[in-house]
Amino acid sequence: MIGRLSARYGPPAAAFAVFLLAWEAVVRLARLPPYVLPAPSLVATTLIADRATLFASLWVTLRTTFAALGLAIVGGSLLAILFSQWKWLERALLPFAVVLQVTPIIAIAPLLLIYLPAWGAVLSCAFFVAFFPILANFSLGLASTDRNLLDLFALYGASRRQTLVMLRLPAALPYFFAGLRIGAGLALIGAVAAELAAGASGQETGLAFRIVEAGYRLDIPRMFAALVLISLAGIAIYFSLSALAHLVLRHWHESGGV
C-alpha cells in the first residue's frame, strides 16, 4: 500500500520539491528583490503573516464558488432530466444554454453588475460557467443508456419512472461526475473572474480583489500568496470530487470514477 502510494505520488512530489528549491536558489543567488520575484519562503511567510485577511477572502470566494456550484448542480441536473423526458423541451431550450456557454463570461460580467448587486453578479457568473458542463455531460449520460438494457426494461413493462430511476439515472452517474468535476473547476474560475470585474464594489472582498489590491501596492509576495491559495482551493476541490466519484462508482469497474 505504502509502496503503491509512493510510486504514484512520489515522482510528482519530488518534481515539485525540486521546482521550489530551484526557485528559491535562483532568487537568493541572483539577489532578486521581492518586488521582482519573491522566493517561495517569502510567499509562505507572507501567507502566514497575512492569514487573517487572506483566509477571510478565500472564504468569501469559496462561498461564492460552492453556492454557484450547488445551484448549477440542481439546475443542470433538473434540466438534463427534463430534457431526457421531453425532447421538444431540449430543442426549445438548448440554444439558450449554448448561447450562455459560448459567450465569454467576463464579457457578460459588466452587464450583470449593472443589473444585480455585486454579490449577485459574481454568483451568477460562477453559476453560468458551472451550469453548462453539468447539463451537457448529464444530458449525454441520460441519452446514452445501453439500448439492450432499455429493451430489457421495455420487455418487463417498466414504467417511465422506473426506467428513469432504476436505469437512466444510475447509468448516467459517471457522466454526471465528469461534468461535476469540470463544473466545479469552472465555478472557481468564474467566481474569481467575476470578482476581478466587480472590483471593490462589494462589501465583502474575495481573493481576486486581494490580488488586484496587492498589485496596486506592488506587494508582489502577497499577490503570490493569494494565487497559491486559489490554486490550492482548486486542487482540493478537484481531488475531493474525484474521491467522491471513485467512492460512488467503485463497484462498476476497476476504472470506476477515475
Binding interface with other proteins (CB under 8 A): 146, 148-149, 151-158, 162, 166-167, 170-171, 173, 249, 251-254
Shortest separation between residue 245's beta carbon and other proteins, angstroms = 13
- Cα(173)–Cα(163) distance, rounded to whole angstroms? 15
Length of the chain in residues, anyone?
258
What is the DSSP code (8-state) at residue 199? G
Shortest separation between residue 141's beta carbon and other proteins, angstroms = 13
Q: Give the nearer residue to other proteins in terms of CB position, either 150 or 228.
A: 150
List the grid coordinates of 253.
469497474
Q: Which residues contact 210 (CB under 8 A, 6 or more apart)?
A: 53, 54, 57, 222, 226
List the grid coordinates of 75.
439546475
Q: Give the nearer residue to other proteins in terms of CB position, either 91 or 146.
A: 146
Q: Which residues contact 30 (CB under 8 A, 6 or more apart)?
A: none
What is the DSSP code (8-state) at residue 27? H
The count of other CB atoms within 10 Å of the CB of residue 135 is 24
List the grid coordinates of 13.
512530489
Shortest separation between residue 256's beta carbon and other proteins, angstroms = 9
The count of other CB atoms within 10 Å of the CB of residue 205 is 21
Query: For residue 230, how far is the Cα from the chain centroid?
Result: 11
Q: Is 85 in contact with 164 (CB distance < 8 Å)?
A: yes
Q: Give the nearer residue to other proteins in terms of CB position, either 167 or 212.
A: 167
Shortest separation between residue 229's beta carbon and other proteins, angstroms = 37
Q: Give the nearer residue to other proteins in terms of CB position, either 62 or 178.
A: 178
Shortest separation between residue 170's beta carbon and other proteins, angstroms = 5
Q: Give the nearer residue to other proteins in terms of CB position, either 149 or 227.
A: 149
Shortest separation between residue 166's beta carbon and other proteins, angstroms = 8
Q: Give the nearer residue to other proteins in terms of CB position, either 170 or 199.
A: 170
